[in-house]
Amino acid sequence: MQLLTAIRRTPLLWLLVFVPLVLALERLRPEAHTALFVLSILAIVPLAALLSMATESVAAKTGDTIGGLLNATLGNLTELVIALAALGAGEYTLVKASIAGAIVTNSLFMLGGSFLLGGLKYHVQEFNRSTARLQAGLLFLATVALLIPSAISRADATPEALFTEKLSIGLSVLLMLAYALGLVFSLKTHREFFGSAAHAVEEEEPWPIGVAVATLVVVTVLVALVSEVFVASVQDAALALGMTQAFVGFIVVALVGAAAEIASAFSGARKNRLDLSVGIALGSAAQIALFVAPMLVLLSYVVGPAPMSLQLWPGAVTMIVIATLTAALVTTSGRSAWFIGVLVLVVYATLALTLYLLPPPTG
């Protein structure tokens, strides 16, 4: 069976053993917050990898357009499911931190790591400059649109609840419309700019469609279950480990949720296929801004205890702006070397250090 072959071949998937462990522990000792926190992280990583493989397989079977659509929509499924669990528990700071963190992790850690790992093997790496610029442009515009309300109302200091709520809904609709048009653009009218990156990751035989769909469903349910354990334990565990909730959401959740994509991006860089790495990093960050974030705002009316706004705390706005500007600047030249990767990672480390040391934000 393909699934078992995949597990045997990919050491990352051996972590799947933590899935039953964490679910069992949660039954037996629900008060062991720190242990549950660590185990749930270890369990989510292989589930995210499986999810990504299954999505690829379904996409490969359903033809270019629908496949691309699936890839684009389910690519950040792990992030979405974790955030939904946090949304249901009313942990809005965690949700917002994980949205901001996912954008920053994709555009700094994933990109910087790819440049560094690729650069250690190759002297100078070239990648398609105009595609990268197009993608960096999309990412910049996507995050700008996402951040405008926070930036404007921060500046004018008028965070009246009703206005923020109306604005968040209006904006979410605008962003999702832009996302839908973006799919038409990248999958239909201008697919030649994006096509190559989407399918090149998967070099193995795709799974049979039945296995793939079943995996997709079962694993999504498992991610949801583990995420609930994770969200329930995060508050106390963070306290015990001396981390703020913002740090956990921004760094830990974002790294865990993006583990599968990070692996793909890094492996692309080691194969001197930096186009692939840049495409995954920038595309995934843009998807968070245009699709996941507004989706969560709209879902908060159904799932959460109260509506969630798109308003981020000022520090998060600054970090996202820094991250996307850095990504835009660094990809504009179409070439990279290891030290560029180092500097991008230094920016990421600085953000992480700041979040780790600073007292938690309010809101």
Instruction: Find the binding residues for a second copy in span 131-190 (CB under 8 A).
Output: 133-134, 136-138, 140-142, 144-145, 148-149, 151-156, 158, 160, 163, 166-167, 170-171, 174-175, 177-178, 181-182, 184-185, 189-190
How would DSSP label each residue in 53-81?
Answer: HHHHHHHHHS-HHHHHHHHHHHTTHHHHH
Q: How is residue 292 annotated by DSSP?
A: I
Q: Which two tokens stand for residue 356?
A: 């780790």
Burial of 264 (0-12, 13-18, 19+ CB in 10 A): buried
**# residues near a second copy by CB under 8 A:** 72
**Residue 217 in contact with a second copy, rule: CB under 8 A:** no
Residue numbers 259-278 binding a second copy by CB under 8 A = none
338 within 8 A of 135, measured Cβ to Cβ: no
Residue numbers 21-50 binding a second copy by CB under 8 A = none
CB of 355 to a second copy, least distance (A): 8
Closer to a second copy by Cβ: residue 78 or 311: 311
281 within 8 A of 130, measured Cβ to Cβ: no
In Å, what is the CA distance from 359 to each residue of 51, 92, 318, 322, 355? 35, 17, 17, 21, 8
Residue numbers 50-69 binding a second copy by CB under 8 A = none
Q: How many residues are listed for the chain in this entry? A: 363
CB of 347 to a second copy, least distance (A): 6
Closer to a second copy by Cβ: residue 49 or 254: 254
Closer to a second copy by Cβ: residue 232 or 289: 289
Closer to a second copy by Cβ: residue 7 or 349: 349
Q: Output the CA torsion sign for 211, 198, 7, 292.
A: negative
Residue numbers 290-319 binding a second copy by CB under 8 A = 313-315, 317-319
Residue numbers 96-135 binding a second copy by CB under 8 A = 123-124, 130, 133-134
Burial of 1 (0-12, 13-18, 19+ CB in 10 A): exposed
Closer to a second copy by Cβ: residue 298 or 303: 298
CB of 288 to a second copy, least distance (A): 16
Closer to a second copy by Cβ: residue 144 or 213: 144
